[in-house]
């Protein structure tokens, strides 16, 4: 049976907790020892028992609710798989943005690699096509245990600053799911301006 329970996983930052509680969200405070957001989800999995844990990262204010439904459906079909979202990149500037994790995917839908570099690339350095990650995941409980059992970042994870590369370095496959282009990760002050503008445009429609 697939039980759904919404929990907001916070850092040790009291202000985040205060805002969430005021908005009626359930909050679990995770320790400052966690290396990454996925380590935080793993810590929560030790307190709340479930087969699958869904993580939509807090820096995705425009995450499409329909994509969450797709992720839940896919997690039901493949309860033993890690699943993460991706979408096409149709803008060269976005493809070269080092704040945006780009992904390359095998023909069978499994993640081949992820990088902040503009991959795939070519000798002429001309943009042809690309894909970026949408920061939403489905995690089986067992793989979270494997992930968090590693007490320091793996080599590629540390170099790229992309936490889910740890799974690939541990030999754990990641299944990908195509999602909409609606999401926007907020990583810089400029991204905040973009997000506010997009929210304004959506509210005006």
Summarised one tens digit per residue, pLDDT across range 114-164 is: 999 999 999 999 999 999 999 999 999 999 999 999 999 999 999 999 999
Most confident of 58-62, 124-128, 188-192, 201-205: 124-128
**According to the per-residue pLDDT averaged within each range, which of 23-27, 146-150, 184-188 is highest?**
146-150
The mean pLDDT value for 107-114 works out to: 98
Q: How far apart are the C-alpha atoms of 162 and 165, rounded to whole Å?
A: 6
| pTM (predicted TM-score) | 0.86
From the CB of residue 157, how many other CB atoms can be counted at a distance below 10 Å? 21
Q: Minimum mean pLDDT among 5-9, 42-46, 105-109: which range?
A: 5-9
Instruction: Tell me the C-alpha distance between 6 and 76, whole Å.
Output: 17
At 85, give phi and psi (nearest 5°). Answer: -95, 160
pLDDT higher than 80, residue 2:
no
Q: Mean pLDDT across the chain, nearest whole number? A: 89
User: What pLDDT does 16 receive?
Assistant: 76
pLDDT in tens, 69-85: 999 999 999 999 999 99
Which of 11-15, 76-80, 198-202 holds the top average pLDDT? 76-80
Q: Can you tell me which residue has the tokens 């993460």?
A: 84
**Radius of gyration of the chain, Cα coordinates, nearest whole angstrom:** 17
User: Under 8 Å CB-to-CB from 151, ≥6 apart: which residues?
Assistant: none
Q: What angle do CA 116, 59, 32 make, to 5 degrees?
A: 90
Main-chain phi, psi angles of 19, to 5 degrees: -65, -45
Domain boundaries defined on the chain: 8-204
The architecture in CATH of the region 8-204 reads Alpha-Beta Complex (3.90)
Give the CA dihedral 60, 61, 64, 69, nearest 10 degrees. 70
């Amino acid at each position: 049976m697939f039980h759904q329970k919404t929990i907001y996983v916070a850092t040790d930052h009291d202000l985040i907790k205060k805002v969430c509680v005021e908005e009626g969200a359930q909050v679990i405070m995770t320790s400052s020892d966690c290396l990454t957001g996925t380590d935080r989800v793993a810590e929560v999995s030790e307190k709340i028992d479930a087969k699958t844990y869904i993580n939509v990262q807090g820096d995705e204010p425009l995450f499409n609710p329909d994509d969450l439904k797709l992720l839940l459906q896919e997690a039901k079909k493949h309860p033993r798989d890690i699943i993460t979202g991706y979408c096409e990149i149709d803008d060269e500037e976005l493809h070269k943005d080092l704040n945006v994790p780009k992904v390359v995917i095998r023909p069978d839908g499994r993640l081949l690699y992820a990088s902040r570099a503009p991959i795939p690339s070519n000798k002429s350095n001309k943009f042809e096509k690309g894909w970026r990650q949408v920061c939403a995941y489905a995690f089986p409980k067992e793989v979270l245990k494997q992930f968090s059992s590693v007490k320091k970042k793996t080599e590629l994870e540390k170099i790229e600053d992309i936490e889910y590369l740890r799974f690939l370095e541990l030999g754990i496959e990641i299944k990908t799911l195509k999602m909409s282009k609606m999401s926007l990760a907020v990583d810089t002050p400029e991204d905040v301006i973009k997000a506010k503008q997009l929210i304004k445009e959506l509210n005006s429609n």
